[in-house]
Amino acid sequence: MSFFSIAQRHRFSLFILSIWVIVAFICHQDAGFSGEKADFSPRLHNFDSEKSHKTLVAKETPNLAITANIRKTVLDNGLTVLTKEVHNAPVVTVQVWYKFGSGQEAPGVNGIAHQLEHLMFKGTSNRPIQFGRLFSALGSDSNAFTSYDQTAYYNTAERDKLTALLTLEADRMKNSLIDPQQLASEKRVVISELQGYENSPEYRLNRAVMMSVFPDHPYRLPIGGTKADVEKFTVAQVREYYQKFYSPDNAVLVIVGDFDTAQTLKKVQTFFGKVPKRQYSPHNLITPSPAATPAPVIKLQEPGGNPLLQLIYPLPQINQPDIPALEVMDYILTAGKNSYLYRELVESGLANDVSANVASLRAGGWYEILVTSAGGQDLTKLDAAVIKALDKLAKVGLTKEQVERAKTQLTASVILNNRDITNQAMQLGNDQITTDNYQYTENHLVNIRKVRVTDVINVINKYLQPAARKVGFFEPTKQVVTVQSSSYSTPTQENFGTDVAVVPAEVQQYLPPLDILPKAEKRQIPQQLQLANGLRILLLPDKTTPTVTLSGNIKAGTEFESDNQGGLASLVAANLMNGTKTQDMRTIAQGLEAKGANLNFEAYREGVRIKGSSLAVDLPILLGTLTDVIRNSTFPEKEFALARQQALTSLDSDLDDPDKVANRIFVQSIYPKKHPLHTFPTAESISKIQRQDVIGFRAQHYRPDTTVLAIVGDFDVNKVRSLIQAKLGDWQVKGKPPRVKYPNVGMPKNVVNVNPVVPGKPQAITYMGYTGINRQDKRFYAAMILNQILGGDTLSSRLGAEVRDRQGLTYGIYSNFITGKNVGTFLIEMQTSPEDAPKAISSTRNLLKQVHQQGVTPIEVETAKRNLISNYNISLANPEQLSQKMVMNEVYGLNQVELRSFTSKIEQVNLNQVNQAARELLHPDKIVVVTAGPPILAHKKIK
Q: pLDDT, tens digit, for every residue of 581-595?
A: 999 999 999 999 999
> What pLDDT is stored for residue 292 in this prediction?
65
Least confident among 231-235, 261-265, 666-670, 802-806: 802-806
Q: Are 3 and 812 in contact (CB under 8 A)?
A: no
Residue 41 vs residue 650, higher pLDDT: 650
Q: Check if the beta carbon of residue 141 is closer than 8 Å to that of residue 418.
A: no
* DSSP run (H or E) holding 361: none
Q: What is the pLDDT of residue 522?
A: 77
Among the residue ranges 57-71, 152-166, 308-322, 703-717, the one predicted with the least confidence is 57-71
pLDDT at residue 353 is higher than 50: yes
Q: How many whole angstroms separate alpha carbon 759 and alpha carbon 769?
A: 25
Q: Kindly report which listed range (367-371, 415-419, 696-700) carries the lowest average pLDDT score.
A: 415-419
Tens digits of residue pLDDT in 628-648:
999 999 999 999 999 999 999
CA–CA separation, 51 and 521 (whole Å)? 38
14 band by pLDDT with thresholds 50, 70 and 90: very low
Q: Burial level of 303, CB count in 10 A (0-12/13-18/19+)?
A: middle
Q: Does residue 555 have a pLDDT over 80?
A: yes
DSSP type of residue 126 = S
Q: What is the mean pLDDT of the chain?
A: 88
The pLDDT value recorded for residue 2 is 27
Least Cα distance to 599 among 550, 655, 670, 532 occurs for 550
Checking if the pLDDT of 624 tops 50, the result is yes
Give the residue-averaged pLDDT of 565-582.
Answer: 96
Maximum Cα–Cα distance across the chain: 76
CB atoms within 10 A of CB 771: 18
Res 443: pLDDT: 94
- Rounded to whole angstroms, how far apart are CA atoms 810 and 1? 9
Neighbours of 484 (CB within 10 A): 14
What confidence tens digit (pLDDT) does each residue in 519-549 have?
A: 877 778 999 999 999 999 999 999 888 999 9
Beta-strand ranges (E) seen in 434-478 are 470-476
How far apart CA 939 and CA 154 sit, in angstroms, is 43
How do residues 103-145 score in pLDDT, each as one tens digit? 988 878 999 999 999 999 999 999 999 999 999 999 999 999 9
For residue range 168-204, what is the model confidence (pLDDT) as tens digits?
Answer: 999 999 999 999 999 999 999 999 999 999 999 999 9
Helix ranges (H only) for 144-215 are 162-175, 180-198, 201-213
CB 814 within 8 A of CB 791: yes
- Structure confidence at residue 387 (pLDDT): 96
Alpha helices in 655-779 (DSSP H): 658-670, 683-688, 691-701, 717-728
Give the pLDDT confidence score for residue 22 in this predicted structure: 55
Strands (E) across 793-878 are located at 813-818, 825-832
Q: What residue type is assigned to position 452 of the chain?
A: R
* Per-residue confidence (pLDDT) for residue 57, from 0 to 100: 39
Give the other-Cβ count within 10 Å of 858's Cβ.
Answer: 11
Rounded to whole angstroms, the Cα distance separating 446 from 750 reads 64
How far apart are alpha carbons 484 and 266 in whole angstroms? 61
Q: Collapse the DSSP code of 404 into the 3-class scheme (helix H, G, I; strand E, B; otherwise coil) and give the result.
A: helix
Report whether 545 contacts 896 (CB < 8 A).
no
Predicted confidence at residue 377, as pLDDT, reads 83
- Going by C-alpha positions, the residue among 811, 536, 606, 763 that lies closest to residue 34 is 606
Give the mean model confidence (pLDDT) for residues 682-689: 96
Q: Is pLDDT above 70 for 872?
A: yes
Q: What is the arithmetic mean of pLDDT over 314-326? A: 95
438 neighbors 71 (Cβ within 8 angstroms): no
Q: How far apart are the C-alpha atoms of 767 and 769, rounded to whole Å?
A: 7
Least confidently predicted of 291-300, 441-450, 522-531, 721-730: 291-300
Nearest to 253 by CA among 116, 126, 438, 441: 438
Q: Give the per-residue pLDDT at 479.
A: 53
Segment 340-364 mean pLDDT: 94
> What proportion of the chain, given as a percentage, has pLDDT over 70?
88
Q: Which amino acid, residue 751?
A: V
Q: In Å, how far are 168, 864, 912 from 859, measured between CA atoms?
A: 21, 8, 13
Q: What pTM was computed for the model?
A: 0.91
- Of the chain, the percentage scoring pLDDT greater than 90 comes to 80
Question: Residue 147's closest CA among 55, 201, 219, 240?
Answer: 219
pLDDT of residue 937: 46
Predicted confidence band of residue 294 (pLDDT cuts 50, 70, 90): confident
Tell how strand 751-754 and strand 927-932 pair up. parallel
Radius of gyration of the chain from its Cα atoms, rounded to whole angstroms: 27
pLDDT at site 266: 97
pLDDT over 90 at 931, yes or no: yes
The mean pLDDT value for 13-34 works out to 40
Is the pLDDT at 493 greater than 50? The verdict is no
Q: C-alpha 939: how far from its chain's center?
A: 34
Q: Are strands 470-476 and 298-302 parallel, antiparallel or unpaired?
A: parallel
Going by C-beta distance under 8 Å and a sequence separation of 6 or more, which residues neighbour residue 679? 558, 561, 562, 563, 565, 566
Q: Which residues of 715-739 are buried (b: 16+ CB within 10 A; e: fewer)?
A: bbeeebeebbeebbeebebeeeeee
- Quote the pLDDT of residue 521: 76
Intra-chain end-to-end CA distance of the chain, in Å = 23
User: Under 8 Å CB-to-CB from 928, ≥6 apart: which residues?
Assistant: 666, 669, 670, 748, 752, 754, 767, 768, 769, 770
pLDDT in tens, 365-377: 999 999 999 877 8
CB contact at 8 A, 633 and 697: no
Structural contact between residues 795 and 929, judged by C-beta atoms closer than 8 angstroms: no
User: pLDDT value at position 795?
Assistant: 87
Backbone phi, psi, residue 552, to 5°: -160, 170
Q: What is the pLDDT of residue 716?
A: 95
pLDDT of amino acid 802: 93
Does the pLDDT of residue 47 top 50, yes or no? no
Predicted pLDDT at 31: 35
